[in-house]
Structure formats: structure tokens, C-alpha cells
Structure 1
Amino acid sequence: MPESNRGVALGAGAFLLWGFAALYWPFLSAAAPAEILAHRMVWSLLAMAVVLVLARRGWKWLPGVIRSPRRLLPVAAAAVLIAVNWWGFIYAVSTVQTLQASLAYFINPLMSVCLGVLVFSERLRAAQWVAVGLGGLAVVVMTVGYGVTPWLALVMASSFAAYGAVKKYVDLDGVQSLTVETLVMFLPALGYVLYLESSGAGTALSVSPAHTALLVGGGFVTALPLLMFGVATRRVPLSVIGMLQYIAPTLMFLIGWLVQGEEMPLARWAGFALVWLALCVFVFDQLHGARARSVLRRREREAERTREREDGPAGEDGPGRGSAPEPDPSQGRPTDRPAAEPCD
């Protein structure tokens, strides 16, 4: 499978898992969002340690990263950004605001596309600009539908778009980067967990074994899609990542509406309809662009084969276009002038 196709598959898988994660965190409603976040940080490091052991990657590369501020700082920035996003998502789904989480991840692809244009000089075609415009209009309509500024959605969207952009500057592969991110967050999170337990405010050991297991499992629920996303961002443009990100909010929308029973007034329906129209434009443009690139590559291969038939394979001694003519034995010694010059 080509690298770009593998990146698309990994990105799609990550967003599917993120979408269904909206069903996981409400099971931990006995704990406050901040405590859930702290456990999520702590157990994510354990999950990455398991990944490193299974992949036989070892830890020899880690001291070099820690000693290099140039390599460590982008990863630390990514860790802070994703922690903000995690908190927002946990708070939203735990307080039955999953539709606002859905709105956040509908806004986020638009931010990713804009960052791709502004920061990485990625170019958008006309249809992609139309999709961005439709998405922006959808955000306005849904904001009016909520009646207040959806600050939670805006925080989640901006932090995750910035996380994806910062990952472009990380000089590590997906496994290594996510391991360092979780390591950066580990000590502050562990300190907070220990504080909660010592003060009697923690729930890890006082609710039920199932609750404790779910807190630990949160690390694996977190690490797997982030690992897939980190690999995907290094293999495909941010504009493609922006398109794939519509998968997660669509699932969250269905969960919030059908499972959790959140209200859907007309303004929200109109906003989501505009978002889906934007997605359709994006998908059509991507398919059209892929078809055009396939035709172009096929024509280039055909032209290359035609040149090879005319010129002969490179490096062979046979005559071809642009090569020096074979001397005629009947004419004696060949001229000493370059082949490009005519003979006298």
C-alpha cells in the first residue's frame, strides 16, 4: 500500500475511534473531568510503554530527545495542546454536551485547512474554498442555534487544530512522539492523582473495581487513536486530515442525538446540513483530484515508455536520439569534433 493511502487509512481509523470514545467517558461520571484527565495522562504512558515493548523499539532514543531542547520543545507544546483538548472533550461528553463536542470537531477541520494554507503554504482548489465557506456559514448558524457562544467547542477545535500543526515540526516518529508527550504530562498528572487520593477526593480506589479498570483503560483508549493520528499527519497533507476529521463529529452527533437524547432545534439541523454539504463538496473534489492525478500519471508513464522506445534504455551502447552517430568504417577515422557539431 502506498504511503499516502496508508496515512489516509490510519487517519480514518483514528477518527472512528475518537467518535466512539464519546460512549466511553460517561461511564466514569463518578469522577470529575479533571480527575479523569489526570488518570488519562498517567495511564497513557503505560499504554505507550506496552506499545514500545511489543514493537521491540526500546528506549535508547529517549535520552537524546530529552537532552535536545530543539526536539523536546515541539513535543512538549503538543502535549499541552492535546491535554487542553482532552479536558474539553471529557467535560462535554460527561455533562451531556456531546453535540457541542461534535460542533468542535466540525469546526476543527476548517481550522486545519486554514493552518495548512497559512503555515504550510498548501494550496486549495476552488471547490475546497467553497467547502470552507459552507463550513464557516454552518458554524455561524449553529452558534445562533445554541443561543450563546460555544466556548467549549471553540477551545476544543482550536487546541486540536494547533496540535496537528505542531506535530509537523516534531522530529520523531509516531510512537516516539506520543511516548514523549505522555512522559511530559506524566509527573504533573501523577501528582494530582496522588493529591486527590490522599485528600479523600479521589475515586480511583473508592467507587468500584470496574470504575478503576475504566480509569486505567482510558490510557489505551487515548493512546491508540493518537498514535494513528500522529503517523497520519506525517504522511498526508493537513488538508486531507481536515477532510477525514469529519468522521468523528458525525459519530458524536449521532451519539448525542440518538443515544443521549440532546435537543435538535431547527437552527442546529440547518447548521449540520451545511456542514454535511461542505463535506460532500470536499469528498467530490478529492475524488475528482485523485482521478485527474491518476490520468496524469498514466500519461506520464506512457510518454516515458515512448521516449525509451525512441531513445533506447539509458546506459546502453545502442544509438538513440541525441547520441553520437556510429562511425562508418568506410570513411576512416571519425572526426574529433563533438557530436553536436556538424562535420566539415
Structure 2
Amino acid sequence: MFARIHGNVIATIAFVLWGLLPLYFQFLPQADTNELIAMRIIFSVPLMLLILKCLKIPNLSFTQAMKNKQSLCLCFIAGILNCISLYAFTWAITNDQVLAASLGYFINPLFSIAFGVLFLKDRLTWAQKAAVVFAICGIAYQVHYYGELPWLSLVMGSFFALYGLTKKYIKFDSLTSMSVEVTLLMPFALGYVLFGYLDQSSTVLAGNMTTFWLYAGAAPVTLLPLVFFALAVERTTLTMIGLTQYIEPSLQFILAVFIFGEVLDQVKIVSFGFIWIGLILCTVEALVFSRMALRRA
């Protein structure tokens, strides 16, 4: 089915789903983030196996995986990096900090650019250099007025960029890699939930079935966008991925201001403004390069 759908459409679906995630987590205000992440990991394992089967992708057994210990280790690291970013995101949107989540994903591409330069020897274009400078100005403006760094946003953006960087070195295909990541983390998640049950401190196991399924539902609502994203990367250009990814933080920004009523003060307007200017420059440059490439083809 997905083979017949244009990659740009799949990418749009992925980022729309990501952008609408705060709507789901509003049913879990002040949720226990540790248990939420643990339940997400546990239920992601059977879900990923089902997705692999539906898409007719061969399952990678642990016997085969162990033959490539480097990629197996990198899958574990990638899983942890994704969990840290997801933890910050989940805490933000369950504690009335959706604007912080939006900012985190607006600056994520800039972290990706920086890591590309540092680790992959990429060269910055003039627009990318300007975007990095504008982002630094935006964050510096917040620090100047608030007296502290926007830690939630920085953790979300940087660790998700590190997750993407780590995936560059993994030899498995993207969906198999995701399956391995959650499978390796599942024993730790099960141990945490079991400890909470025995210690009688568990929120999800001590609550009603509605709470249980809302926590379990964190698996499909956070995993499906990643699956669509992985499929889109194989079917469209990185330029289009870069352009469509701003759908996600834009939707979160709109939800934060117009649905959840978060305060958009002058400091946040100026800070977002600096970052938006840089992203607009990168977008325009990417469109120009894309059209030039099409003309040459």
C-alpha cells in the first residue's frame, strides 16, 4: 500500500501526527513520566512486530543481530537517546509546556546541522550558518530575560538530533532498527513497572483500566509517526523532509497558544522570531537548490 503513496504525503502524515500529539497527552495531565515511557516501550515491541509483518519486512532475529555487535550496541544507544528526548517532550506536554515542546522541535534541525558539521564533516551553506546564528540569538534572548536556558527545548532538540546521528551508523534498515531499539530496552521497562507494582508506587497498575490503556496508548501514538517518517525517508528527498518537518512544531505552537491558552509573551515572540527567520532562510535556499537540481536533470 505504502509503495503507491508518494513520499511527500507519507512525510506530511508523520509530521501532522507528531504535531497533534499534545491533544492525546492532555488526557494524562501530571502523568508519571517514568511509567509512561516504560509502558510505551513495553507495548511498542508487539506493535513493531505487527508493523513488520504487515509491511512484509523480514524479522531480524537476535541471532542475526548479534553478528553485528556494533550496530546492536548503537541500537541500544539510539533507543536511550530517543527515550531522553521523548521523556522531555512527554513531561512538557503533560505539564502545560507545549510551547517548550514546539521550540524544541523548531531548533532540532539546527542541532542536526551542527552535528553534521562536527561528526559527518558536512559543510554549512550561508543560510545554514545564518540559521545557527539566529538560533543562538533567540536562545540568548531568553536566557537574558529569564535568567536560565530553555532546558526542556534544548534537551528535546539535541537528543533527537543525536538519535538521528546515531542511526546513520546502524547497518539495519530503519524499521528493523526501531524494533531492535525497543526490544533491547523492554527488560528495563518491565523491571521498572514490576518494581513499582511490588513497591505499591505504580500509578498505572494501581489505577483503573482507562488509565492503563491511556498509558499503553502512548506506544502507538508516538511510534506510528516514527514509522511513517522512516517510510517517507525512503520515498522522498531530504529537502522535502526538511520542509515538511516544520509542520510538527507549527501545529504544536498553534495548539499551545489557541487551544491550551499558554502565554506567548514578548520574550517568546522575539525568541521564536529569531529561529523562524533562520528556518525561512534555510527553506528558501533548499527550494532554490531543489529547482536548480531539477533543471539540470
Same fold (TM over 0.5): yes
1:169 aligns with 2:169: yes
CA distance in 2, matches of 1:231, 1:51: 12
Q: CA RMSD in A?
A: 2.5
| Residue correspondence of structure 1 range 146-295 to structure 2 within 5 A | 146-232=146-232, 243-295=243-295
CA distance in 1, matches of 2:118, 2:236: 17
CA distance in 2, matches of 1:214, 1:252: 20
Secondary structure in 2 matching 1:27: coil
In the alignment, is the contact (CA less than 8 A) between 2:60 and 2:176 conserved in 1? no
Distance 1:42-1:146 versus aligned 2 partners, 3 A rule: farther
CA distance in 2, matches of 1:216, 1:26: 15
Distance 1:12-1:59 versus aligned 2 partners, 3 A rule: same
CA distance in 2, matches of 1:135, 1:240: 22
In the alignment, is the contact (CA less than 8 A) between 1:112 and 1:238 conserved in 2? no
1:33 aligns with 2:14: no
Between the aligned residues of both structures, percent identity stands at 33
In the alignment, is the contact (CA less than 8 A) between 2:81 and 2:160 conserved in 1? yes
In the alignment, is the contact (CA less than 8 A) between 1:113 and 1:239 conserved in 2? no
Tell me by how many angstroms 1:55 deviates: 2.5
Aligned to 1:302: none
Show structure 1 runs of 5+ residues with no match: 298-344
Higher relative contact order structure (alpha carbons within 8 Å, sequence separation ≥ 6): 2
Tell me by how many angstroms 1:232 deviates: 4.9
Range 23-32 or range 102-111, more displaced: 23-32
With structure 1 as the length reference, what TM-score do the two structures score?
A: 0.77
| Residue correspondence of structure 1 range 94-113 to structure 2 within 5 A | 94-113=94-113
With structure 2 as the length reference, what TM-score do the two structures score?
A: 0.88
Tell me by how many angstroms 1:278 deviates: 2.1
List per-residue Cα deviations over 1:52-96 (Å, max 9, x = no partner): 222233435442113431220111110110011111111111111
Show structure 2 runs of 5+ residues with no match: none
CA distance in 2, matches of 1:27, 1:208: 14
Distance 1:119-1:104 versus aligned 2 partners, 3 A rule: same
CA distance in 1, matches of 2:136, 2:10: 27
In the alignment, is the contact (CA less than 8 A) between 1:75 and 1:177 conserved in 2? yes
Distance 1:238-1:122 versus aligned 2 partners, 3 A rule: farther
Aligned to 1:63: 63
Distance 1:175-1:34 versus aligned 2 partners, 3 A rule: same
Distance 1:13-1:139 versus aligned 2 partners, 3 A rule: farther
In the alignment, is the contact (CA less than 8 A) between 1:109 and 1:246 conserved in 2? no
In the alignment, is the contact (CA less than 8 A) between 2:6 and 2:236 conserved in 1? no
CA distance in 1, matches of 2:207, 2:30: 8
